[in-house]
Amino acid sequence: MHNSSAFIQIQRLARRYIEGGQQRDIFTGLDLDIERGAFIALLGPSGCGKSTLLNLLSGIDLPDAGTIRIDGCSLSGMNEQERTRFRRRHIGFVFQFFNLIPTLTVAENLLLPLELNGLTTSDQRDRALELLDNVGLGNRRDSFPERLSGGEQQRLAIARALVHGPLLLLADEPTGNLDAVTGERILELLLKLHRQAGTTIVMVTHSREVAVRADRILVLEAGQVREING
């Protein structure tokens, strides 16, 4: 039974690929509701479709069947240009590899989503630079990414993902490329910013230690999802 007021509604989702002439089903009739403001940890073995699900939630990829609705908007009901605009305005991404632009300074990397969305008033820029202070990088705004440690680069990536006030943050192994201490700091930062902004977060992780900090733990297996208690 679906909750019609859920922030994310996934219904009868199917996605398959052809590999070596063989059809491989990733999802087969997946149903899932996620409430607004939830912090979801997504677990599962390699190749089970965790990153595929993030790509479907962002509209980068389209399902073979079924629907995904985010805040009442059907992704499959949009054309590619509309999905790009929706993604740019309403979704933030944090990856295991930080995906910063090396030729831009810290501040320029941070402000890029605002510029892409036409949100470049002085107030919006000031709020963005305040976010840089919140992640502990206020004194590095003129540095280039190569001068930052891995943890600092990931903090910048998180700030950039949240700078435009997205409805949804998708995080793919955000602590996977960091040592344990730095990874814990990044997780604490995500939790803090989540509490402050109330952004819905779906985070892929292999770590049960990371997952237990989330509101809900979902496990992908054999094209379906099950919920477990932390």
% of the chain at pLDDT higher than 90: 31
pLDDT of 1 reads 43
Q: Assess whether pLDDT exceeds 80 at residue 18.
A: yes
Q: 15: closest CA among 72, 82, 69, 62?
A: 62
% of the chain at pLDDT higher than 70: 97
Of the candidate CATH numbers 3.40.50.2300, 3.20.20.370, 3.40.50.720, 3.40.50.300, the domain formed by 37-62+77-228 belongs to 3.40.50.300
Residues 181-221 pLDDT 10s: 878 888 887 888 788 888 899 999 888 888 888 999 999 88
In the block, residue with structure tokens 């960091």: 178
Q: Assess whether pLDDT exceeds 60 at residue 3.
A: no
The pLDDT of 52-72, averaged and rounded, is: 92
The pLDDT of 22-46, averaged and rounded, is: 90
Which helix (H) or strand (E) covers residue 227, if one does?
Answer: strand 224-228
Q: Are 200 and 37 in contact (CB under 8 A)?
A: yes
Q: Assess whether pLDDT exceeds 80 at residue 90.
A: yes
Confidence of residue 230 (pLDDT cuts 50, 70, 90): low
Residues 135-189 pLDDT 10s: 888 889 899 999 998 888 888 988 888 888 888 999 988 877 778 887 888 888 7
In the block, residue with structure tokens 């930080």: 98
Mean of the per-residue pLDDT values of the chain: 86
pLDDT of 56 reads 93
Q: Assess whether pLDDT exceeds 90 at residue 57.
A: yes
Q: What is the DSSP string of 29-49?
A: EEEEEE-TT-EEEEE--TTSS
